[in-house]
Structure 1
Amino acid sequence: MGELITKANIADADQFYEDLIEAHADLSEDESQALNSRLILILANHVGDMHVLAQALHAARAKAR
């Protein structure tokens, strides 16, 4: 069982952010939300560890309030 990594862990975070913004370029709000949904499901499948995914959901929900 893994643990959620919450410290910076992307080698080139600025490049990732730029790529993420570019992926949303010229999309409608609905298309952008659909892209985000697909990306979340793809990454969740890659992680595959339900314990880590539960930690991520909890962390994301805590930040939403």
Structure 2
Amino acid sequence: MPRLELNPNFTDPDAFYAALTALHRDRSEAESERINARLILLLANHIGDQRVLEEAISHAGLAGDK
């Protein structure tokens, strides 16, 4: 069974961060929320495995508690 990859796995994290922040630049809060929702659904579709997605949801929910 695939597991959620929690170790750094980016080929270029700085480029990803730059692209993500550029995507949100000059957008309203509502536009940014819609973009984030679409991005989440695209990446969830790419992952596809329900157990991995549920593990990611669980980890994301804990992030605010740390």
Q: TM-score, normalised by structure 1?
A: 0.96
Q: 2:32 — aligned with what?
A: 32
Alignment match, 1:53: 53
Q: How much identity, in percent, do the aligned residues show? A: 45
Name structure 2 gaps, 5 residues minimum.
none
Q: May I ask how many residue pairs the two structures share in their alignment?
A: 65
SS at match of 1:26: coil
Matched residue, 1:4: 4
- Runs of at least 4 residues off by over 6 Å: none
User: TM-score of the superposition, structure 2-length normalised?
Assistant: 0.94
For residue 62 of structure 1, what is the aligned residue in structure 2?
Answer: 62
